[in-house]
Amino acid sequence: MKRLLLILSAMLLAVPYTAAQSIDMVIPVPQEVLPGEGTYRYEDSPEITYRVSKKLAPEAYRLEVRKNGIRITSSDDAGAFYAKQTLLQMIAEKDGTKEVQCCVVNDCPRFGYRGLHFDVSRHFRSLDFLKKQVDAMALYKMNRMHIHLTDAAGWRMEIEAYPKLTSFAAWRPQEKWKDWWYGDRLYAEEGSEDAYGGYYTKVQLRELVEYARQRHIEVIPEIEMPGHSEEVLAAYPELSCKGRPYSQGEFCVGNEETFRFLETVLEEVMEVFPSEMIHIGGDEANKTHWKECPKCQQRMEEEGLADVDELQSYLIKRISGFVESRGRRIVGWDEILDGGLAQGATVMSWRGEEGGLQAMSMGHDVIMTPGRYCYLDHTQDAPFKEPESIGGYLPLDSVYVYDPASRTMDLPGRLLGIQGNLWSEYVVTDSHAEYMYWPRALAIAETGWTQPHQKDLEDFRRRATGAVRRLKSMGYEPFDLADEYGERKLAQTGLDHKAKGCKVLYDKPIQKWYPAAGETTFTDGVIGGWTYSDQRWQGFLSDIDVTIDLGSVQTVSYVGGTFMQLKEPGVFMPQKVDIYVSADGESFELVAEVWNDVSVNIPDLLFRSFDAICDVRARYVRYHAKRSTMRGFLFLDEIVVN
């Protein structure tokens, strides 16, 4: 207990204070606050007493601030630590004296898993950067650091049994991921003139694990398999189906050497990371090589596997058994459901919530991290003013309103919590990464800790604005909410026009991932925002060919629709749009042929209206957008008729 009090006092002295902090500025919102009269004042370090009570749940605490001192009660060290984090956010400084508002706080977390993900493969992050983020995570009561150590862009952990993973597979000639990815995708020897990358030694990773442990954060390592492994197979091509470097990104599941490699690597990983969970990836594997590989086909025949999905499941289950034999358990992205899920495996649901719901119904634990709400690699403000990103728009408000339990009421006890992810393809520097995490990670933190009925968006924005000031004073580089431009202006207001509410007939299918409002999307008066995933833009992997029934013959003077283009995810303008009108729905007249003049090579987010001014009498308006030669997506939000 003496050591705990010393740590509390030292950390209370180490964090800068602001002139006006109080309990109503704390993130996450505590479960219960009983206001008191007056303040507790001190100059050097506060008088703190600590009491253990096994009546409190794990991580729970009671914080009592009286005029004569502070008392913390908890059942474990984590609870005492979180009491201190609340206290840190309450301390104000006035005329050289520190003071804390008198109150009693009874608090405990909603979820046991409150995580943040770090992609150090696409761009290597310094150890100091990771420690710095641990400090911020701890201040806001987050308790899991998921570190994505391996991927095609670079292997980042020293493995003594396989030295080429760090002497070769950890380095590439290009600094920017997109230059490498759209180039030759070659690797480089450590120490060569053009080598960019890096890796962590086991000593460094143990240092990070211990640093995080002292702040009650568990570091969860991720070793990708069976896909996203181009870097491994370039260094050790005998583990691929073709036996050649630069030929594929998936391990050969029919090769016993693959399992010898993976088990050896995981042994060394588990020596460094004491975490209960070991993340094994499992996402986005290209399984076509397995269909042609004699070894994989033999494995399928011997094991009675019906298809390549079951072949992936075979690998996942075998690795799960190995990890369990060491007293741990695996966690993977929701693709590990394909072909059957290993007993005891935990699922991270990223492709929406469906994978998580399916896993929970099968009796598995789940961590919700759907891309629409939890992928922090999307821009957090108007794209025209933000640094380069993968695209999309995910402002602070959209992260905050997500409730991971909203669809899991019939599956109690299986939802472990929530995690925010930052994939770093376009995030080159540590400072850019920090800018992308904060303050959106605060929304993840509060969702993971605070009960939903206590959450309030307007109040959270007020507190988050204060937290941004605090983070800046601590040397962080967060996005400044005071400079926020916000959603696309047209998307903030409805649009009234002649076709609003009219029936629309579709000649081509809507892409199932982007249905928006279904067959009412183009005439609902709703304009799309900065991202195609906002359920306002309707997506197609074909032409768009629709006919609007205005209900009666009337004068039509304008017809137009707006498309977006974003090169990286494959969203392009149409080649052209043909606009037709008809009085009877049988005989149509072409009134305009609008050709695209936007280059497909422009990387920025663009919007363009394909429209026509006319003077005709019609009941039916046909709008036909011809798909781009790039064969990507078409996204359209509204067809305006006046």
Q: What pLDDT digit, counting tens, does each position of 346-389 carry?
A: 999 999 999 999 999 999 999 999 999 999 999 999 999 999 99
Whole-angstrom Cα distance, residue 329 to residue 6?
35
The pairing of beta strand 113-119 with beta strand 144-148: parallel
β-strand partners of 281 = 225
- Is the confidence at residue 413, as pLDDT, over 80? no
- Is the confidence at residue 55, as pLDDT, over 50? yes
**Domain covering 113-331+414-483 assigned CATH 3.20.20.80 in the classification:** yes
Q: Count Cβ neighbours within 10 Å for each residue of 319-342 and write b for 16 or more, e otherwise.
A: bbebbbeeebbbbbbbbbbbbbbb
Under 8 Å CB-to-CB from 30, ≥6 apart: which residues?
Answer: 23, 86, 105, 106, 107, 450
Whole-angstrom Cα distance, residue 241 to residue 307?
17
217-254 per-position pLDDT tens digit: 999 999 999 999 999 999 999 999 999 999 999 999 99
177-209 per-position pLDDT tens digit: 999 999 999 999 999 999 999 999 999 999 999
Q: What does the pLDDT read at residue 12?
A: 52
Q: What does the pLDDT read at residue 19?
A: 46
CATH topology of domain 489-641: Jelly Rolls (2.60.120)
For the chain, what are the domain ranges? 2-107, 113-331+414-483, 489-641
- Tell me the average pLDDT across 136-165: 98
C-beta of residue 369 within 8 angstroms of C-beta of residue 339: no
Whole-angstrom Cα distance, residue 590 to residue 604?
32
Other residues' Cβ atoms within 10 Å of the Cβ of residue 263? 15
C-beta of residue 116 within 8 angstroms of C-beta of residue 444: yes
Nearest to 245 by CA among 261, 223, 229: 229
612-628 per-position pLDDT tens digit: 999 999 999 999 999 99
C-beta of residue 362 within 8 angstroms of C-beta of residue 414: no
**Domain covering 2-107 assigned CATH 3.30.750.210 in the classification:** no
Under 8 Å CB-to-CB from 534, ≥6 apart: which residues?
Answer: 393, 491, 528
Catalytic residue list: 151, 228, 284
- Is the confidence at residue 297, as pLDDT, over 60? yes
C-beta of residue 164 within 8 angstroms of C-beta of residue 235: yes
